[in-house]
């Protein structure tokens, strides 16, 4: 007796993942269109170029930015870096974005640079909080707290050449001093810094 077995053919269709962003360079701008279903919360435009005579690198980083699906913000490149947008007929820049759901798109090295920046920001916020929280809890004057923040920022400026996170610390200290000057209640500034740190940590 002969048995006949039907042959089943399994066809597997492999679909390439659709692009999550579209990048277009113009004379002095980079347009980044969000093709994902989730909003973009951070972006970086980075030119890690090695030129014959000198290394030229620049980055335009926009953290805590939000543009919805379909949004296409334009990042303006400074006059000194315009020529880096088009090198030998190709784009000389890398673009990376982080979405609200924690996913990312773009050049992996640029995305990593953006995530490193967020980690440095979280550490800088923690450092500023550690510097001013005891003064606020002890009831020190607002001017004394501002002076401590400015001292912290100055210390980071002297370490900028040797400490990778120094630029983030300088930025956080400046923003904290501005918040303290605009707010009569330092405790509210501490609460704002804590919320800022939480947002940065969640999105890293």
pLDDT, tens digit, for every residue of 74-128? 777 766 566 666 555 455 678 889 888 888 998 898 889 888 888 999 999 999 9
Supply the pLDDT for residue 62. Answer: 76
Supply the pLDDT for residue 143. Answer: 93
* Cα 189 to Cα 34, 103, 149, 153, distances in angstroms: 33, 30, 12, 17
Question: Is 2 a residue whose pLDDT tops 60?
Answer: no
Contact criterion met (CB below 8 Å) for 64 and 41: yes
- Provide, rounded to the nearest whole percent, the portion of the chain with pLDDT above 90: 26
Mean pLDDT (the chain) is 79
Characterize 36-52 residue by residue with b for buried, 16 or more Cβ atoms within 10 angstroms of its Cβ, and e for exposed.
beeebbbbbbbbbbeee
Contact criterion met (CB below 8 Å) for 94 and 48: yes
| Rounded Cα distance, 27 and 33, in Å | 17
Query: Cα 65 from chain centroid?
Result: 9
Q: Which residues pair with 31 in a beta bridge?
A: 24, 74
**Predicted confidence (pLDDT) per residue in 33-90, tens digit:** 889 888 888 888 877 655 554 445 667 777 767 788 887 877 777 665 666 665 554 5
Question: Is 7 a residue whose pLDDT tops 50?
Answer: no
Contact criterion met (CB below 8 Å) for 183 and 189: yes
Supply the pLDDT for residue 16. Answer: 43
Extract the tokens encoding 97. Answer: 């974005």
Report the pLDDT averaged over residues 136-161.
89
Q: Please state the pTM of the whole predicted model.
A: 0.71
| Rounded Cα distance, 159 and 166, in Å | 7
């Amino acid at each position: 007796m002969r048995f006949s077995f039907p042959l089943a053919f399994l066809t597997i269709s492999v679909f390439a993942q659709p692009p999550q962003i579209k990048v277009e360079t113009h004379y002095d701008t980079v347009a980044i269109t969000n093709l994902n279903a989730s909003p973009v919360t951070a972006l970086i435009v980075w030119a890690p170029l090695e030129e014959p005579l000198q290394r030229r690198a620049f980055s335009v980083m926009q953290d805590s930015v939000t543009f919805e699906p379909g949004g296409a913000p334009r990042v303006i490149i400074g006059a000194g870096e315009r020529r880096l947008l088009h090198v030998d007929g190709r784009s000389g820049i890398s673009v990376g974005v982080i979405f609200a759901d924690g996913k990312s798109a773009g050049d992996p090295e640029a995305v990593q640079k953006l995530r490193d920046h967020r980690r440095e920001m979280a550490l800088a916020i923690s450092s500023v909080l550690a510097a001013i929280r005891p003064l606020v809890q002890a009831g020190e004057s607002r001017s004394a707290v501002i002076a401590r923040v400015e001292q912290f920022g100055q210390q980071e400026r002297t370490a900028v050449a040797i400490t990778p996170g120094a630029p983030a610390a300088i930025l956080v200290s400046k923003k904290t001093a501005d918040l303290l000057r605009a707010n009569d209640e330092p405790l509210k500034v501490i609460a704002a810094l804590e919320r800022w740190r939480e947002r940065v940590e969640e999105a890293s």
